[in-house]
Amino acid sequence: MSDGLEGVVAADTVLSEVDGLAGRLIIRGHDLDELAGRISFEEVTRLLWDGFFDNLPGDLAPALAAARVEVFAEVSALDTGLLDRTPIEGMRALTARLADGDELNVALRLTAAPAVFTAAMVRAQAGEAPVKPDLTLSHAADTLRMLRGAPASAAEVAALDTYLVTVSDHGLNASTFAARVIASTHAGLASAVLGGISALKGPLHGGAPGPIIDMLDGIGTPGNARTWIEAALARGDRLMGFGHRVYRVRDPRADALKAAVRKLAEGSNTMPGRLALAEAVESSVLAILKERKPDRSLQTNVEFYTALLLEALAFPPSAFTCVFATGRVSGWIAHAREQLAGGRLIRPASRYIGPMPKVAA
């Protein structure tokens, strides 16, 4: 048995390939470098869904914008009970109100949902009214506008598009596997997406970037990095944003996002200082992990520069995992459709290690 199913191949897919030894991510025949910063979220979604739906439009933007307007109706269900929850719990609860099914319109609503519900939840927690979707905007532009109540700059929209494209799909990660297992029972896309959101929420998967901000704030200045990191490791903490099950060299998504953060920092007074702190912390963590775990190559993962990018775009750290879901939902849906098209019910075996019934004398 493989601990944590490491190295086990559980599906054939045309969607993405994660080459952990080469540090390479391929999404439907394209290296991540060819996509991140070059195409929009709608375009990567179109690429991922190609062949998995009949009548898929060439341009998904109008249909996705219409879906944002449709799901906005559910925002009225945000009640005070939900406002005490974390944004991802609130977003998941609203997503659970959407109808299940396997059709394109269901997929579009589920893809629109994380952006619309996250913005509404964050605003409601701040005592602000929700902002209606704008049919004329791209998904990234409208996500930022619905969050802040004001239009975002072209550079900010480009940075969010880069992020959403970068995280849109990534092989059989925990949330995608969860989505595929659910899809394999023919439960429907909403059920698969809800499973994906639930798996993504954990700090070992998509919940890492919020605590990364706590780490940077706790460290404060580069000179404090080593002492802070060693104290965290002495407590038995894991350092969020480092290590990966598959990558044994640098996570290529970390590089794509670092480049996006650098670009965004060009027009900012505050970001260069934050970036310099992050780079100093990254160097210290990598050096310390190398000293402590010389046999295990622990490198920067996607979450580290995600934290900086989403902070710069004014998402509160409590909502970072929701923004991850906003991008990954396209991949979950593509995998669910792929599973439905050719896969059997996923039903592995377990090994019983409990006591046997006593044999009567």
User: Which residue numbers are catalytic?
Assistant: 244, 303
Site for ligand ACO in 282-311 (CB under 6 A): 293, 296, 298, 301-303
Q: Is 238 in the site for ligand ACO (CB under 6 A)?
A: yes
# residues near ligand ACO by CB under 6 A: 19
Tokens 């409208």, located at residue: 142
Question: Based on CB atoms, which residue is closest to ligand ACO, 190 or 307?
Answer: 307
Q: Is 245 in the site for ligand ACO (CB under 6 A)?
A: yes
Q: Is 208 in the site for ligand ACO (CB under 6 A)?
A: yes
The alpha-helical segments, DSSP class H, found in the chain are 32-35, 41-49, 61-72, 80-83, 87-95, 104-125, 139-148, 154-166, 174-184, 189-200, 209-219, 225-234, 252-265, 271-292, 302-312, 320-342
Question: Based on CB atoms, which residue is closest to ligand ACO, 223 or 236?
Answer: 236
Q: Is 255 in the site for ligand ACO (CB under 6 A)?
A: no
Q: How far is the CB of 247 from ligand ACO (least distance, A)?
A: 9
Q: Is 244 in the site for ligand ACO (CB under 6 A)?
A: yes
Q: Is 321 in the site for ligand ACO (CB under 6 A)?
A: no
Choose which of 204, 231, 276, 314 interacts with ligand ACO (CB under 6 A): 204
| Among candidate residues 100, 144, 97, 96, the one with its CA nearest the CA of residue 122 | 144
Q: Is 4 in the site for ligand ACO (CB under 6 A)?
A: yes
Q: How far is the CB of 95 from ligand ACO (least distance, A)?
A: 20
Q: How far is the CB of 118 from ligand ACO (least distance, A)?
A: 17
Q: Is the dihedral of CA 2, 193, 28, 251 positive or negative?
A: negative
Q: Is 252 in the site for ligand ACO (CB under 6 A)?
A: no
Choose which of 114, 206, 210, 327 interacts with ligand ACO (CB under 6 A): 206
Contact 265, 278 (CB under 8 A): no
**Cα separation of 289 and 271, whole Å?**
26
Q: Is 243 in the site for ligand ACO (CB under 6 A)?
A: yes
Question: Looking at residue 19, what DSSP letter applies?
Answer: E
Residue nearest to ligand ACO (CB): 243
Angle in degrees, CA 210, 165, 83, rounded to 5: 40
Q: How far is the CB of 337 from ligand ACO (least distance, A)?
A: 22
Question: Based on CB atoms, which residue is closest to ligand ACO, 122 or 298?
Answer: 298
Q: How far is the CB of 310 from ligand ACO (least distance, A)?
A: 13
Question: Based on CB atoms, which residue is closest to ligand ACO, 26 or 146?
Answer: 26
**Cα separation of 215 and 203, whole Å?**
14
Question: Based on CB atoms, which residue is closest to ligand ACO, 15 or 208?
Answer: 208
Question: Looking at residue 25, what DSSP letter applies?
Answer: E
Q: Which two tokens stand for residue 13?
A: 């897919």
Question: Based on CB atoms, which residue is closest to ligand ACO, 144 or 239?
Answer: 239
Choose which of 132, 205, 262, 263 interacts with ligand ACO (CB under 6 A): 205
**Cα separation of 142 and 133, whole Å?**
6
Amino acid identity at 294? P
Question: Based on CB atoms, which residue is closest to ligand ACO, 38 or 293?
Answer: 293
**What residues form DSSP beta bridges with 87?**
none
Q: Which two tokens stand for residue 256?
A: 């794509």
Q: Burial letters for 221-254: b for 16+ Cβ neighbours within 10 Å, e otherwise?
A: eeeebeebbeebeeeeeebbbbbbbbbeeebbbb
Q: Which two tokens stand for residue 314?
A: 């004014």
Q: Which two tokens stand for residue 32?
A: 């991540």
Q: How far is the CB of 324 from ligand ACO (least distance, A)?
A: 7
Q: Which two tokens stand for residue 70?
A: 């449709």
Q: Which two tokens stand for residue 355?
A: 């006591």
Q: Site residues (CB under 6 A) for ligand ACO?
A: 4, 204-206, 208, 238-245, 293, 296, 298, 301-303
